[in-house]
């Protein structure tokens, strides 16, 4: 009976651990209890708070907590801004070499990959709030969740003096469409 209890407790503990981390979680999150939004990424979401755009930003390797929080928050805000307008230029260089000499059993391999991405987003978006921060237990990574309520955003359009009334009307009208387009695109790519 005692062996049965030990096996049962072990099985339950394993089941709880196995279910605690989604299978699609990146390696640095395996075995870690984290909020769902960390892996949901950026995009549109509908829930109790209404329709919102979420932006998830993260940073690792910055020991200064205030700087890490600010950097993650700015990256999260930028993710939301990218939904509206983005100019992006990308350059990637990839170099690989393998050298074998002598009896062909010893080889020397090297690889060098560089990627430079320059993303320019020029948006003044009112109403983006950083709703939550999550600190990875390893102490080396910070995640930030920024969100912008769709209705608040449309109302803020009225207060943007630098925009002409035609632009304000266009943005207000198309904010719903952008949210719906993202929803339709996600449905196309949803796994059955």
Greater confidence (123 vs 189) lies with 189
Q: What is the pLDDT of residue 164?
A: 65
Residue 55 CB contacts under 8 Å (≥ 6 apart), including other chains: 42, 75, 76, 77, 78, 79, 80, 81, 82, 128, 145, 146, 147, 148
Q: What is the pLDDT of residue 30?
A: 80
Q: What is the pLDDT of residue 111?
A: 64
**14 assigned to some structural domain:** no
Percent of the chain having pLDDT more than 70? 52
Region of residue 172 (phi > 0: left; psi between -120 and 50: alpha; otherwise: beta): alpha
pLDDT tens, position by position, 46-99: 767 678 888 999 988 888 889 999 999 988 988 887 776 654 455 556 666 667
**110 assigned to some structural domain:** yes
Q: Which DSSP letter does residue 24 get? A: T
**8 assigned to some structural domain:** no
**23 assigned to some structural domain:** no
Q: What is the pLDDT of residue 143?
A: 93
CA 126 to CA 159: how far, in whole Å? 9
**179 assigned to some structural domain:** yes
Greater confidence (110 vs 136) lies with 136
Rg for the chain, CA atoms, rounded:
23
Residue 6 CB burial class (10 angstroms; 0-12, 13-18, ≥19) = exposed
Please count the structural domains in the chain. Answer: 1
The residue range of the domain holding 44 is 34-189
Give the mean pLDDT of 141-149. 90
**171 assigned to some structural domain:** yes
**20 assigned to some structural domain:** no
**12 assigned to some structural domain:** no
């Amino acid at each position: 009976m005692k062996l049965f209890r030990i096996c049962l407790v072990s099985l339950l503990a394993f089941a709880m651990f196995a279910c605690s981390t989604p299978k699609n979680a990146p390696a640095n999150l395996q075995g870690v209890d984290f909020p769902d939004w960390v892996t949901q990424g950026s995009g549109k979401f509908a829930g109790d708070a209404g329709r919102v755009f979420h932006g998830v930003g993260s940073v690792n390797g910055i020991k200064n907590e205030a700087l890490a929080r600010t950097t993650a928050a700015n990256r999260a805000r930028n993710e939301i801004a990218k939904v509206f307008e983005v100019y992006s230029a990308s350059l990637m260089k990839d170099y690989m070499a393998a050298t074998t000499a002598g009896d062909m059993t010893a080889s020397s391999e090297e690889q060098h990959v560089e990627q430079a991405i320059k993303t320019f987003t020029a948006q003044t978006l009112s109403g983006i709030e950083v709703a939550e921060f999550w600190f990875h237990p390893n102490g080396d990574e910070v995640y930030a969740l920024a969100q912008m309520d769709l209705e608040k955003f449309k109302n803020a359009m009225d207060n943007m003096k630098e925009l002409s009334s035609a632009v304000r009307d266009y943005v207000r009208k198309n904010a719903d469409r952008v949210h719906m387009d993202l929803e339709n695109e996600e449905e196309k790519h949803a796994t059955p």
